[in-house]
Amino acid sequence: MIEAVGLTKRFGAKTAVDQLSFQVKPGHVTGFLGPNGSGKSTTMRMIVGLDRPTSGHVTINGRPFRDLPNAQRHVGALLDAKAVHGGRRARTHLLAVAQLSGIPEKRVDEVLAVVGLQDTARQRTKGFSLGMGQRLGIATALLGDPQVLLFDEPVNGLDPEGILWVRNLMRQLAAEGRTVFVSSHLMSEMALTADHLIVIGRGRLLAEMGTQEFITHNSAGFARVRAADTHPDGRDTMAAALTGAGARVLKEPDGALRVTGLELPHIADLAHGAGVRLWELSPHRASLEEAYMRLTQSSVEYASTEDPRAELWEPEPPSVPAWEDEEEAPQAPAAAFYAPPPPAAGGQPFLMPGSPGELAAAAKNHPEESR
């Protein structure tokens, strides 16, 4: 169990974490979501005592981290996959960390097997990929067989197989009754892994609820209905029929209707009854990612703006009015619209050797040109 009360961290004038209060309960995977720079890592660092909160406090199993008599047996953390000495081998790195708490050497080989690094255990870690680093970091967190586990962006740099493995590992750890706290900036990943979500933005708590609850709250389904263009008032007739049946209807810019509150078969029946021919009737679900974006929109730290390239481009010269020099636009035959451009007259369109060895021969004939 992790409990934060009024947790605040300021770096100079910048408030990284602002009055954050939450609970992470055992037996669940709790996702910690927020855009980049929203204070997730700072919060995690405060939980394991690396940073001191400016105010407020956070406890693990009721005690501040620094007062835990035997920290590694209570909490294991993966905060930064690259926080290892590159010149040390994976196994000795783990051994050194294990010895800090008197954890037996046998445990090192156990966790190496759990994360699948037993074959690379004798390699120096500077040659590790990010994914291997993540596995080593997870092994470090598991060393003390702790009840509370923190993982900061554990799937970064992992391949799909690794992501699946992490997902299953988290679920399994939670099923064993442990407290699992995983941060991510990917809603889609958390929707698959976490039972419970804590969403923050700019260091403030935005939402704390179950994942299912979050999904039902934030992603309303709708149907898209498109009447045939051939009939001019098809759309209006359809909209009237739908509204009459109690649906909520929104008009989309391209002429389709966005319908909520009715099942698809019912909509089809209504269209049939109203004599409207449909070109589209499709189910849609606003993605969780969209809901999350809406939620965190105002609190994105690094919002991008259009690149004006002000100094890089000269303003366009005033163009010649179209009517002064009007020429017929060349008519492309409809059939050739998608055809590839014809080869240039007499030459080859691309540098493609007609036969193997042709390029090599050309290079031999004109060595200075080919360079």
Partner 1 sequence: MTVSSFPGILNSEWTKIRTVASTTWTLASALVVTVGSSAALCAVVSATLDDMTPQERLTFDPTMASFVGMTFGQLAMIVFGVLVVGTEYSSGMIRTSLAAVPRRVSFFFGKLTVATALALVVGLATSFLSFFLGQVILGDASVGIGGDNVLRAVIGGGLYMAMIALFSMGVAAILRGSVLAICMLIPFFLVISNILGGVPATRKWAQYLPDQAGAKIMQVVPGGMDGSTTTYGPWGGFGIMVLWTAAVVLGGYLVLKKRDA
Interface residues toward partner 1, by CB under 8 A: 45, 48-52, 65-73, 77, 79-80, 82-89, 92, 95-103, 140, 144
Kindly report the number of other CB atoms within 10 A of residue 287's CB atom.
14
Q: Decide if 38 contacts 11 (C-beta within 8 A).
A: no
User: Which residue's CB is nearer to partner 1, number 20 or number 276?
Assistant: 20
**Minimum distance, C-beta of residue 135 to partner 1, in the bound complex (Å):** 14
Shortest gap between Cβ of 192 and partner 1 (angstroms)? 27
Q: Which CB atom, from 96 or from 175, has the smaller least distance to partner 1?
A: 96
Residue 41 dihedral angles phi and psi, to the nearest 5°? -65, -40
Contact 248, 261 (CB under 8 A): yes
Q: How far is the CB of 43 from partner 1 (least distance, A)?
A: 13
C-beta of 64: minimal distance to partner 1 in Å? 9
Q: Is residue 5 within 8 Å of residue 64, measured between CB atoms?
A: no
* Cα gap 257→273, rounded to integer Å: 17
Residue with tokens 């923190």: 150
Q: Residue written as tokens 């966790």? A: 111
By C-beta, is 134 or 299 nearer to partner 1? 134
d(CA 75, CA 146): 5
From residue 112, how far is each of 25, 120, 163, 169, 292 by CA, in Å?
Answer: 27, 9, 17, 14, 36
Q: What is the nearest approach in angstroms of partner 1 to the Cβ of residue 9?
A: 9
Q: Which is nearer to partner 1, 74 or 204 (CB)?
A: 74
- 318-356 per-residue burial string, b: 16 or more CB within 10 A, e: under 16: eeeeeeeeeeeeeeeeeeeeeeeeeeeeeeeeeeeeeee
DSSP secondary structure code for residue 22 in this structure: E
Judged by beta carbon, residue 27 or residue 86, the one nearer partner 1 is: 86
Q: Which is nearer to partner 1, 51 or 195 (CB)?
A: 51
Token readout for 82 is 């690259």
Q: What's the half-sphere exposure (Cβ side, CA atoms, 13 Å) at 110? A: 11
In the bound complex, what is the minimum distance in angstroms from residue 83's beta carbon to partner 1?
3
**HEC letters along 2-44:** EEEEEEEEEECCEEEEEEEEEEECCCCEEEEECCCCCCHHHHH
Q: How far is the CB of 136 from partner 1 (least distance, A)?
A: 10
Min separation Cβ 185 and partner 1, Å: 20
Encoded tokens for 105: 């050497």
Nearer to partner 1, 50 or 130 (CB): 50
Please name the residues in contact with 153: beta carbons below 8 A apart, sequence gap of 6 or more: 183, 184, 185
Which CB, 124 or 171, lies closer to partner 1? 124
